[in-house]
Amino acid sequence: MLYLLGFLFATIFLLVLGINVWVLIDTLLTIDVPSSIPNPMKFRILHYCFQLTTTWGNILEKMNICSMPQFSRFVQDCLVLKNNLGVFVKDLHFGTVPVRLFYPKAASSKPRRGIVFFHGGGGVIGSLDCYHNLCTFLARETDSVLVSVGYRKLPYYHHPSLYYDCLNASIHFLKSLKAYGVDPSRVVFCGDSIGGAAVVVVIQTLLGRTDIPKIRAQVLIYPILQAFYFQSPSRLTNINIPLLTKDFMISCFFKYLAIDSSWKDAILTGACIPPSAWKKYEKWLSPDNIPKKFRTEYQPPESPVPFNEAAYLETKHIMNVDISPLIADDKVIAQLPEAFLVSLHWDIIRDDVLLYKKRLEDQGVPVTWQHVEDGFHGCILFFDKKSFSFPCSLKILNAVVNYIRDL
């Protein structure tokens, strides 16, 4: 009996060790670490831990123990030591949507600014707990009442659950500003990654409504603003740069949008885009709209690929504005509030920000732009992680704080 137990433990140990070593080797061989990112070894270790978490999540999912998103979020949340310094925190529900309210402890003689925050994570990872300290920092440093929305995610919920939750929570908050001591003329919507996309979609949806206050500003931190054009410079050159590599991004897209992986090549090559649609979207998405300094290593495709009608019919929803708000009509873009945009040089979705910036400016919408040369996707979450923090993390948060304070 002891022999069998020893053999079992030895087998499990070797299996665990083998998987961990395989992930390490794969990480060393496949990722690129740009020279402008400080502490490259720390960056590699960070990506290794992230890759190890998602790999074990995928293994547990195949074993029907738990899903990869659930395991990844569990690990993320376990690593957070919540900090409530300077704020009161309360968990609530706006209707059926869980939210977390952050309210500054300092007294105020007048209504405060309000911030509606949508977290990132591709609909796969991220949570109220994971973003708790970031929201505490924003609420305290900007002296704002902040509500963080805990929208539904994978594995049980796909698009448009995230969008509906963010929309419904936003409407509830905007109709209750007086109860939370918020000035209705100073409400800011803020989000990172897919949360940034939710900000744009929600604001576009609320345009023209007279029963709620107008949004003062949109703060978008490396947002994902379109899900069908993968041939822009950053989406072709930054494919192996953590934490958002091309493989992980595509995996998140396909799971969140419920698209079969067999259509991957058609989406990546643009074969799913009808020529008539591209004729309309090209004026907004063309790489020519991106400044030359961001196209130095870009090699455009030699020729368009043949249109695949079957792929289009299966994936055409990715061209809807509730998934790709970057392609909303000019009359919609012109009505949007002023924006603070954060782009990262080494981010695979960097060009979404650059193209959105041009669209806003072309329609006369004021834009403040913060471009971070040493930034990488997801970096703001490490602003308080001490030994695993990066200069770009606090740089971005301080820029966001300064912008919101000045509104």
Catalytic residues: 193, 347, 377
The residue behind tokens 């992930």 is 23
Q: Are 375 and 392 in contact (CB under 8 A)?
A: yes
Own/partner contacts of 276-279, CB < 8 Å, gap of 24 or more, are: 277/319
Q: Residue 270, Cα to own-chain centre: how many angstroms?
A: 23
Distance CA 62, CA 84 (A): 38
Alpha carbon distance 289, 344 (integer Å):
17
* Burial tier of 65 (Cβ tally within 10 Å: 0-12, 13-18, 19+): exposed
